[in-house]
Amino acid sequence: MVESLHLRGIGLPDEEPLELWIHDGLISFEPVASATTIRDSGWIVPGLVDAHCHVGITYGGGHETAAGAVGQAETEREVGALLLRDAGSPIDTRFIDDREDLPKIIRAGRHIARPKRYIRELGIELDDERTLPEIVAEQAEFGDGWVKLVGDWIDRSVGDLAPLWSDDVLKQAIDAAHAHGARVTAHVFGEEALPGLIEAGIDCIEHGTGLTDETVELMVRHGTALVPTLINIETFPGIAAGASKYPAYQRHMLDLHAGVKRTVANAHDAGVPIFAGTDAGGSIVHGRIADEVAALATAGLSPTEALGAASWTARSWLRRPGIEHRAPADLLFYQEDPRTGPEVLSTPDLVVLRGRVY
């Protein structure tokens, strides 16, 4: 039987004294007899959230093994990321749900793309876009309340980023997901695909480097969220360097990279909900949520907003509890204020997952 625990500290975001007990894996605001006090001063934060990662994709791309996927989840747990929105994976990671010692994963099924318009073998490729609503409905049933579309990618026939789907098909597909109780998000780098996706009712945009004043206004009007994956955008110059056959695409990627912090700041100032995601898996190693929080804090979010985008605010958006009475005891304890920088945030003094201390 797991020992009952007791903690005191300063709770975020309220910055008020917080005292709580942990019993049977749950948080209690009522005293628990014989609980062991494990910390009595410091900072208490809901478990971190990586709202865009890929458990099941190897570093460098490709299908991960089951053991490798477990290792990725363990890496996230070590840095305090206890809730992961898996924005597309080529393997079925549901076996992780049986592991009480690993973070909770909210899956979006597999990426949905067109032939030769995404990373080979990672997604479902549709020859006929008219089948998109049907496939979205299938992935809505397979996922955990999310579906992931590839909204744009390089089109080698035009030598630049271009949308994958027509507007009317997008509307049908997103309506199909909503009818199955799922939300939809999309990978989008450029400008052209954004109006159709947002007007079709998409719930979230991943990356969003091509946002303009007009599409930011559309996002505000529709309540569309943004996960900018800023540490992944740092790979754009390398992507451009390897695309010498497509000079328009090269210039486009470099321009998107150069303006990304201004783009995110404009979206934030307009009121677009922004959440933290690293895009771990593929070109980004797991365990870097603290770096993404730091990047958001240089792109218009305050240190508290940036941390909230990877903790309490993100949990609310993903419909998962934070530090609440009778909620699962998924929380972090820091001796120093975790808003002071990634060195502190990435090294919690205590990680508590489902009531167990790691």
For the structural domain made of 5-45+322-357, what CATH number should be given? 2.30.40.10
**How confident is the model over 258-266, as a mean pLDDT?**
98
pLDDT reported for residue 84: 98
Q: What is the pLDDT of residue 16?
A: 97
In the chain, the amino acid numbered 194 is: L
Q: Domains of the chain: which residue ranges?
A: 5-45+322-357, 48-317
pLDDT in tens, 5-17: 999 999 999 999 9
Average pLDDT over residues 84-111: 96
**CA 303, CA 232: separation in Å to the nearest integer?**
20
pLDDT > 80? residue 2 = no
Does pLDDT of 246 surpass 80? yes
Domains 5-45+322-357 and 48-317 share a fold: no
Q: Give the pair of three-digit tokens for residue 53.
A: 């990662």
CA distance 192 to 344: 39
Instruction: Provide the percentage of residues in the chain whose pLDDT is more than 70.
Output: 99
CATH H-level, domain 48-317: superfamily: Metal-dependent hydrolases (3.20.20.140)
Specify the 3-state DSSP secondary structure of 177. Answer: helix
Q: What is the average pLDDT across 105-119?
A: 96
Burial 28-38 (b: 16+ CB within 10 A, else e): beeeeeebeeb
- Cα three-residue angle 217-218-219, rounded to 5 degrees: 90
pLDDT at 83: 98
Using CA atoms, how far apart are residues 100 and 82, in angstroms rounded to an integer? 11
Averaged pLDDT score across all residues of the chain: 97
Secondary structure (3-state) at 323: coil
String of DSSP letters for 71-137:
HHHHHHHHTTEEEEEE---SS--GGGGG-TTS-EEEE--S-EE-TTSSSTTTSEE-SSGGGHHHHHH
Amino acid at 296: L
**According to the model, what pLDDT value does residue 1 have?**
54
Helix (H) or strand (E) segment spanning residue 236: helix 236-241
Residue 66 has pLDDT above 60, yes or no: yes
- 132-142 helix and 167-179 helix, angle to the nearest 10 degrees: 30
Is pLDDT above 60 for 128? Answer: yes
For residue range 331-357, list pLDDT tens digits in order.
Answer: 999 999 999 999 999 999 999 999 999
- For residue range 162-174, what is the model confidence (pLDDT) as tens digits? 999 999 999 999 9
Residue 171 to residue 323: CA distance in whole angstroms = 37
| Nearest to 115, CA basis, from 146, 157, 73 | 157
